[in-house]
């Protein structure tokens, strides 16, 4: 039997969620993006966060 594909890296703290608030339009866009990528909204938010974090740090000269 084949194991299901994991999209999350090992070691994620799924027992300690972080709440994020969105406008209705932002949430609708997130839902659309996550459906196109075949991901959960949580997974999509994490990807977007990681991309944005890199840009944020670069813009402030952080490692």
Task: Dump pLDDT digits (tens) for 46-59.
Answer: 999 999 999 999 99
pLDDT for the residue numbered 33: 97
DSSP state of 4: P
DSSP string over 21-45: ---HHHHHHHHHHHHHTT--HHHHH
For residue 7, being part of any structural domain is answered with no
For residue 42, being part of any structural domain is answered with yes
pLDDT for the residue numbered 2: 67
Domain count, the chain: 1
* pLDDT 10s digits, 8-31: 778 787 788 899 999 999 999 999
Query: What radius of gyration do the chain's Cα atoms show?
Result: 14
For residue 54, being part of any structural domain is answered with yes
For residue 44, being part of any structural domain is answered with yes
Residue numbers of the domain that contains 35: 24-59
């Amino acid at each position: 039997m084949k194991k299901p594909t994991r999209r999350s890296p090992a070691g994620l703290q799924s027992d300690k969620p972080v709440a994020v608030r969105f406008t209705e339009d932002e949430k609708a866009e997130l839902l659309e993006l996550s459906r196109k990528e075949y991901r959960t909204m949580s997974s999509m938010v994490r990807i977007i966060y990681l991309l944005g974090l890199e840009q944020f740090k670069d813009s402030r000269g952080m490692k």
